[in-house]
Structure 1
Amino acid sequence: MQHSEPAGQILRDKVDWSTLFHQSETPLFDWGSRYRLLRLYNLYRCLLGISLLGLSLTPVSEWLFSYAPQREVGWYLNLYLTVNFVLWLVLTFRNQPGTTYTFFVITLDIMMLSVLLHMVGFEDNGLANLYFVPIVIGNILLKGRLGILLSAIATLFLLSIDIHHALLGRVSQHVDAGLSGLLFFATALFVQSVRTRLQSSALAERLSRTRAFNLERLSTSIIQHMRTGILVLQEPDTIVMMNESARHLLVTEDTKGQLDALSPALMASYQQWLANPNLRPNSFSSSPGSPEILPNFSRQSFEQTDYVLIFLDDKAALSQEAQRLKLASLGQLTASIAHEIRNPLGAISHSAQLLAESETMSDMDQRLLTIIHKHCKRVNGIINNILQLSRKQGIHPESIFLNAWLREFIDSEHFQDFESPDIRLELPQSPVTVNIDLSQLQQVLHNLCQNGLRYSLHHTGKPCLILRAGVSASEHPWLEVEDFGPGIPDELSESVFEPFYTTDKKGTGLGLYICRELCEINQASLGLLPYQKERGSVFHISFAHPKKLIS
């Protein structure tokens, strides 16, 4: 953006006529403002022509037009009025006047005023003051050299008129003409200075608006791309704004309307918070199979209007960090367990082996040694499971197609404890994309399949189960493992995930616990579907959204 040059430099520099009419437009006036100002200026010239023409028909004309015949003045004023009317019509059809057109119109007005002054003289009749209007308008619409050039043109015309009148023997007004010229330049410089300040203010205001607009866009983009779902309610329950994460969590395409119509479960949590803000709201699920959502509320006031911010978090994502902290503490504990238990356990096992080599051992003692070996092995298995869990603090997620991976899993996995296991797949035709650590997914699915095959074998005499996969309405992938066992009652649906809880005498009670822990550190959730008599247990894994980054 260009600014007006200092007056001394303008008067000293040589004018570059090739670029004089191609200066960039000032941002102070857009096309609409320039057009309106030129129309107003054109109206002023028409009114001036009509006024002067009217004065020429009155007795005042003898004083005002003392050096020219009244008839010639009348003809010229009619010509002046006609030219201004034609320029009005031209401006009407040319609604985007440029710099050249503006300079031409104002220069023409100065020339016609100069001819009028040449005809009538300017002895104290005040007509020379009419130069100030085009000079002011020109320096508003034109910047830098062009504005100063208009003052120079007006001064040269005024001096030439004075010299011509002096040559004709009339009273010379050199001093008045020179002072008027100085006033023309002073007026131009003053208008240029004011225009420059207004231009700087307009630029600062525009930059401030642009910066505020960019910050608003940046804030909106950040909110839209946040993993936390955000809703803004205008009290009592009108939705003002909703980001993309909230739309996915609530499984909706609507971003406006009433909260009750959008999510009755969220509306219930909101009313609970209104009744008691200090009470932590309960989590809820937007649809069957969708991850649980944990809401938080905060009231804000803006311009005398109350708003409520609702933050929606995926409960699985929130538990991930807590899970990492828990596993870090568990790692320290298991290291101590390994040191304190494994050494004496190894000594017990080694001593039992030495006793078994004795030739004087009775059958009863051999049976006791077998029990010792069995329980040493079981305790060692418990320690291995806990150590294995504590080492899973770091994950390496990758994007996979679950359909193809499940087929490979069945073909490559060998369940050595079962003879000819029957594992059926029920998969959708479209590929299901999952972001997860593959080694941990394989461990989870291996444990679930082992449990399912074992309970199916005990209940039906045949090791069989069903693997299902799909995508929920909230676009979250899911995987189900259904066995043909007796099923797990609803009152035990959470107990089976507790550590060391087991109904199998040979089990350690850590398998399902480890599976849930591994799912949670991958921002997935493992649960048990409600009990039904006609089927066995159905374990349901809801994975993180495929577009969500897991770290």
Structure 2
Amino acid sequence: MQDAAPPQPPTIDEAAAQSPHDANAPFVRLWQGFLTGRVLIATALLLLQLALLSVQPGGNSLVWLVCLGYLGLTLLLRLTARAQPPSPRAGVHWLPVIGVDIAVICLLQMLQTGPLNYSALLAIPILISAVLGNLTLALATTASVTLLTLGWVAWQDVAGRIESTQAYYQASFACAGYFAVAYLTHELARRVRRERHLAQHSSRKAQTQEQVNALVIRHLGEGVLVVDPQFRVQQANPAALHLLGLADAHALPFALKEHSGWQRLQDAVAQSFAQNLPISAAIHLQSIGQEGMTGLHLRTWLTEVATPSDAADATEPALLQQLCVVFLHDLREMEARLRTEKLASMGRMSAAVAHEIRNPLAAITQANALLAEDLAQDPAQQQLCRIVGQNAERLARIVEDVLNIARAQQHIGEAHAGLLALDQHVAQVCQEWQAQGQPAHSIQLLLDARDKTVVFDGEHLRRILVNLLDNARRYRSNAHEPHTLQVLTGAPAGGQIWLQVWSDGAALEPTVQRHLFEPFFSSESRSSGLGLYICRELCQRYDASISYQRLSRPTPHGPVEGNAFSIVFRAGPASALPASLFDQIVV
């Protein structure tokens, strides 16, 4: 059963749009607490008056009125006040809170007839102003309380109710304490607010950085996995999930042990953990839903992250957990990059060699033309001159074709397509090929195109067919048995005309098949690796296609498996040249 997907971090916009009041969250709770505390104090004062009534009947009715009014005002403010505290600046908006508290406490102090002293309650408005207001409000509130306290002492002194010296000392010390409490409380609140702002700012920066990292990793072409020591993938980007054969929305975390095809990846991670070192290796994985193996280049990197401690003591340092970051790169992409570099190298090489080949060819052609004029009376020598001229022209066309593939200009090297009678042209090319030192009756022709014509240049088709015949001859089992090399044509009713060269050679390896038509790829050291690539490029010029299959063909010894290269021609008139693969390379 898959685990639920972990919560995603907030986006950059969400992090930037967070309410600025988040930094004041502790003070919002304090504001709500102060409002509730005022209601409780008002209730306690009312209960206190009830208790005094049972001890001293006939109390002052004004005290009851003040207590009831205070309870009503605190309840009203608690129910109607905003969730956020008022502005910290001094102003009339603080009168329903600080002003009411000071007035009620002073009235109770003036109206009380017993030994009770309510002056200690004056610390409540001082604390409210010091915590929720600015320094001006805190000092102004404290100064107001000080003046009222000293005024009350002076009035008591004038009335002769107290001993003046001791009362003034006590009031002075109390007021000094009020100022100290107000200042220290305000500084502590300011520091808490500043630290809260810094924490919020750091949190937003961390969330933004996390989102940027997640965005970069998500769109990274390289696969990234974060694996713990239990071989559970904690994080993975879409590229890595795709390489493993999983959907982009696959739930995290998941175990590498879930699929046997990932065993080599698990072994590489285990090796990196065991050696405590990063490793780099090429591995092959079997992705989910695929039969073949996927070649990957793997790199690991070990890192440590802090994990929350399970201990009750919050001061205990967090535990460090080692994680393995795995980078996966598809070998096919790396090979494609290498092929692109090869193509660029071929383009530069072709441009450099062109001048070296064209100049000797021009000299040979010119000298052959002059020699033909001097030998006009000798037919045998004239025949030799014609052979030299034809081969020089053929070599020039080969050079031009290679250059046309490598050049960036799309207007150079246009194909001169014509209508070819396929069976007739194939028979002629095969006859010429056998005449070039091949054993007699070394090829079996099975031509069944029924005088159909194809849109192709005759010389280009000859080059393709000769290249395929040379490859088939090289890998056939017996050069003296014609059925080991067969050339076939066909034109099914309503279908496309095709040409096929088949030989009974051994099957090609899967790695060879994947790169069969790529430039510079060859299983032989002496081969340039351009033959089949040029065949494919020439076919694409005429909207034809060439492909490889492993087919069984009937022979005198029964059906035999062999290698077949098939060309499917397009129907219709010739069109402008399509841009070849090399046309995008700047020479």
- The question of a shared fold, defined as TM-score above 0.5 by the shorter chain, is answered with yes
Where structure 2 has 5 or more consecutive residues not aligned to the other structure, the ranges are: 1-20, 87-91, 273-278, 307-319, 424-459, 469-485, 539-544, 554-562, 568-584
CA 269–375 in structure 1, closer or farther in 2 if over 3 Å, else same: farther
CA contact (8 A) 1:252 1:262 kept: no
**Unaligned ranges ≥5, structure 1:** 1-23, 59-68, 396-411, 422-446, 468-481, 519-525, 540-549
Alignment CA distance shift 1:370-1:26 (3 Å): closer
Alignment-mate amino acid for residue 300 of structure 1:
L
Query: How far is 1:210 from its partner?
Result: 1.0
TM-aligned CA deviation for residue 50 of structure 1: 5.2
Equivalent pair of 2:226/2:233 in contact (CA under 8 Å): yes
* C-alpha displacement of 1:371: 3.5
Moved more, 346-355 or 232-241: 232-241
Match of 1:134 in 2: 125
- Give the Å deviation of 1:208: 0.9
Q: Which residue of 2 aligns with 1:353?
A: 369
Select between 224-233 and 169-178 the one with higher mean Cα deviation: 169-178
Displacement of 1:115: 1.6
Asked if 2 retains the 8 angstrom alpha-carbon contact of 1:224 and 1:243, the reply is yes
Quote the Cα distance in structure 1 between the aligned partners of 2:355 and 2:498. 39
Equivalent in 533, 548, 562 of residue 513 of structure 1: 533
2:550 match: secondary structure: coil
- Distance across 1 between alignment mates of 2:192 and 2:349: 72
1:308-346 Cα offsets, whole Å, 9 max, x none, are 333333444434543454445445544443343332232
Partner residue of 1:221? 215
Task: Provide the residue aligned with 2:74 in structure 1.
Answer: 87
Match of 2:324 among 293, 300, 308: 308
Spell out the pairing of 1:106-185 with structure 2 (5 A cutoff).
106-120=98-112, 127-171=118-162, 172=164, 173=167, 177=171, 180-185=174-179
> Could you report, residue by residue, the CA deviation over 1:88-140 in whole angstroms, capped at 9, with x for unpaired residues?
586368683642887523432222221222234899x8643331233113321
Question: Which of 59, 72, 76 pairs up with 2:59?
Answer: 72
The answer as to whether partners of 2:223 and 2:243 remain within 8 angstroms in 1 is yes
Q: Residue deviations 1:430-464, cap 9 Å, x none? A: xxxxxxxxxxxxxxxxx99x969x98x95224499
Tell me, yes or no, if the aligned pair for 2:42 and 2:71 is still in contact at 8 Å.
yes
Is 1:193 the counterpart of 2:187? The answer is: yes
Trace 1:397-546 onto structure 2 (pairs within 5 A): 415-416=417-418, 418=420, 459-462=488-491, 485-486=500-501, 489-491=507-509, 493=513, 494=515, 497=518, 499=520, 510=530, 512-513=532-533, 531-533=550-552, 537=565
The 1-side partners of 2:546 and 2:350 are apart by 26
Alpha carbons 1:49, 1:78 under 8 Å: kept: no
Shift of 1:32: 3.9
Query: How far has the Cα of 1:34 moved from its partner?
Result: 2.8
Residue 232 of structure 2 corresponds to: 238
2:252 is equivalent to residue 256 of structure 1? yes
Alignment of 1:265-276 (within 5 A): 265-271=261-267, 274=270
Residue 202 (structure 1) shift = 1.4
Partners of 1:218 and 1:289 in 2: CA distance: 36
Cα distance, 1:32–1:175 mapped onto 2, change above 3 Å: closer
CA distance in 2, matches of 1:354, 1:180: 128
Question: Which amino acid counterpart does residue 36 of structure 2 have in structure 1?
Answer: R
Distance (Å, rounded) in 1 between the aligned partners of 2:283 and 2:204: 40
Q: Deviations over 1:223-258 (max 9, x none)?
A: 112122223233444232222333445553224354
- Secondary structure in 2 matching 1:155: helix
Q: CA deviation at 1:213?
A: 1.0
Aligned pair in 2 of structure 1 residues 108, 370: CA closer, same or farther (>3 Å)? Answer: same
Identity of aligned residues (%): 21
- Amino acid in structure 2 at the alignment position of 1:201: E
Q: Which residue of 2 aligns with 1:5?
A: none
Residue equivalent to 1:96: 83
2:111 maps to a residue whose letter is M
After superposition, the C-alpha distances for 1:378-409 in whole angstroms (9 at most, x for unaligned) are 443444455455546x99xxxxxxxxxxxxxx
- Alignment RMSD (CA, Å): 5.3
Distance in structure 2 (CA, Å) of the matches to 1:296 and 1:144? 61
Query: Secondary structure of 2:26's match?
Result: coil
Alignment check: 8 A CA contact 1:91 1:97 kept? no
**2:283 is matched with which residue?**
281
Does 2:338 correspond to 1:318? no
Cα distance in structure 1, aligned partners of 2:232 and 2:495: 45
2:429 aligns to what?
Answer: none
Aligned partners of 1:249 and 1:293 also within 8 Å? no
1:394-433 Cα shifts (integer Å, max 9, x gaps) = 99xxxxxxxxxxxxxxxx9984264599xxxxxxxxxxxx
d(CA) in 1 for partners of 2:73, 2:420: 103
Partner residue of 1:375? 391
Normalised TM-score (structure 1): 0.61
Q: Distance in 1 between matches of 2:285 and 2:361?
A: 44
The alpha-carbon deviation at position 357 of structure 1 amounts to: 2.8
Partner AA of 1:87 in structure 2: T
The letter for the 1-side match of 2:530 is: L
Contact kept, 8 Å, 1:131 with 1:154, in 2: the verdict is yes
Distance 1:365-1:240 versus aligned 2 partners, 3 A rule:
farther
Corresponding residue of 1:31: 28
Question: Which residue identity is paired with 1:130?
Answer: L
The aligned counterpart of 2:449 is none
Q: Which amino acid aligns with 1:135?
A: I
Code of the aligned partner of 1:227 = G
Per the TM alignment, residue 218 of structure 1 is displaced from its structure 2 partner at its CA by 0.9
Give the partner amino acid of 1:241.
Q
> Paired residue for 2:197?
203
What CA distance in whole angstroms lies between the structure 1 residues aligned with 2:547 and 2:266?
28
